[in-house]
Structure 1
């Protein structure tokens, strides 16, 4: 199983416990916003907000982030995605709604409790690296542990382990100005991991990087996730990045969450024209699995080459298009659940097929 595959497959119920959730969450900017929302029972129409000269940056947001998943929030600039993430960590105070972390009401946490949660249970990486220029790599990575009061020997041991983990061994005594952009971001990642967070907030962490370095960092994140199995909330405006990394994606527009689903679900069943437009130009062979293209199995299916139902089309396309026979699709237990004809893949690659209709 890859680092980004849901345990039970797209569309299936995920049995992992909920780590972070919000329900009907709002962030309204403007004078008297809290009183305005309270008077309306925590909900308001767009026209009412406009009339009151208030801005609903996040509106009616409801999500559940499960333990160990990469949950991506995406949308265009101004859609509210970064504001939502800051509300989830209470870096920004929500105006209305519910927010829970490990089943506990995060909105009732005191300032001291919040500080403790952020220091010990939450890791954060932002677009701008925010490294301290006068500190070396190892000092930057160890800095959160210094704030926690960890002794020097302990924090340097932990920092060194994180430096090794992100591939910066040998650069411990360099300063940020001596590193490339990708290396600086690795320092930021190592620093956020030093406190061993239970949940990891990443707000467009790779968007300032060159495309090649960005892809390298995406691969690095997947590698780290395969080792660490963190619960990750990741913000991006790039759908290609989202489909590469995500277990599930929430698409936002004008402060509201339009649809939540796996990349495959969003491509196959867009809830609105807006979501369809988001997914229109995506390479569907990278998104769709064997399950999405399979037809009912024939009696001869047991003699065919087998592929996993969760395998992406790109992983077997080159083999099946030259195959004289279909491929059998098997579930996680090895049972045959369908088959794929070479022509179905050829149609998908050529754009002649509305992918997923057969499934």
Structure 2
């Protein structure tokens, strides 16, 4: 996979003299930071985000995930390290270049919608295009496309105060997509919504990604949300990434006690794929299930038999899934 975004030894320290401190102490531990009156919000982060994947960064409040995503876009200046976007080191880019990248190549959606209250839905979505100097007819045409994409056709003339929370967040998503970003940052975009609307927005997000194939960095503290959306997950604690992997890797093979505790209550059937539980052989004539399907979803297909046929994305047989193996996994939690 081609890396769209890479971090190499990224640090963000809060406190006086952070840069000179790191120059003299390239790998400080927590005790040395505390003794120097410095706070390690992001500590020696290394990661690669592949083109077209949903990369979820998660952790508890104060773990550093939101600070990290702001470092990735240089809304906050890192104290040290290297951030590569399409091979270009963003930390070497001047302010003019960063403004150009943010306007044309990056999209951002945050927990708080930050819609402009005096502008209509149409004008809110078109706003970043007006900043780029695009002519009104072109930007409004693009805005209407994005409004239709997020399911708000007919609300173009509405103002934010006339919309529900979920509708406001859809406007925020449409606005961020209007510039056709290569890289999309979403920092807890659904956490302010009630559970039902949140689930609907997750469905909408997955629908959009199936069409758009964006490279996405998604921040959340909700593990259920992470395993539902992520291709890969990075778990942060005290500014460090303690494990990176697929949802299945992290649940089945936690690297630390912290990760084990974090994933303790996750039902394995929600995470484990059919391909991981299938056996060699065939099940011709039985219901078919793609190998990437989660066990919890596949379990519903055992209507009148003991076996399902497992297939790849093209429909070619790969193996078989047996009811008793699914039952054993679900009983283990």
Q: Quick one: distance in 2 between partners of 1:84 and 1:344?
A: 40
**1:6 aligned residue:** none
Q: Indicate conservation of the 8 Å contact 1:322/1:342, yes or no.
A: no
1:30 aligns with one of 1, 15, 18: 15
Q: 1:291 Cα deviation (Å)?
A: 1.9
Instruction: Provide, for residues 231-284 of structure 1, a one-character-per-residue CA deviation record: whole Å limited to 9, x for no partner.
Output: 110000000001111110000000000111111111111111111111111122
Does the alignment pair 1:226 with 2:210? Answer: yes
Q: 1:98 Cα deviation (Å)?
A: 1.1
Q: Quick one: distance in 2 between partners of 1:72 and 1:115?
A: 25
Q: Quick one: distance in 1 between partners of 2:197 and 2:311?
A: 36
1:327 aligns with one of 299, 308, 319: 308
Q: 1:319 to 1:252 in 2, by over 3 A?
A: same
Q: Quick one: distance in 2 between partners of 1:315 and 1:288?
A: 10
**1:21 aligned residue:** 6
Q: 1:153 to 1:331 in 2, by over 3 A?
A: closer
Q: Quick one: distance in 1 between partners of 2:122 and 2:331?
A: 50
1:39 aligns with one of 13, 16, 24: 24
Q: Indicate conservation of the 8 Å contact 2:56/2:220, yes or no.
A: yes
Q: Secondary structure at 2:161's aligned position in 1? A: helix
Q: Quick one: distance in 1 between partners of 2:192 and 2:249?
A: 29
**1:3 aligned residue:** none
Does the alignment pair 1:72 with 2:56? Answer: yes
Q: Indicate conservation of the 8 Å contact 2:4/2:49, yes or no.
A: yes
Q: Quick one: distance in 2 between partners of 1:128 and 1:146?
A: 22
* TM-score of the two chains, using structure 1 as the length reference: 0.89
**1:316 aligned residue:** 298
* TM-score of the two chains, using structure 2 as the length reference: 0.95
Runs (5+) with no aligned partner, structure 2:
none
Q: Indicate conservation of the 8 Å contact 1:321/1:343, yes or no.
A: no
Runs (5+) with no aligned partner, structure 1:
1-14, 353-359
1:265-280 to 2 correspondence within 5 Å?
265-280=249-264
Does the alignment pair 1:307 with 2:289? Answer: yes
1:116 aligns with one of 82, 100, 106: 100
Q: Quick one: distance in 2 between partners of 1:335 and 1:189?
A: 37
Q: Secondary structure at 1:61's aligned position in 2? A: strand
Does the alignment pair 1:200 with 2:184? Answer: yes
Q: 1:351 Cα deviation (Å)?
A: 2.6
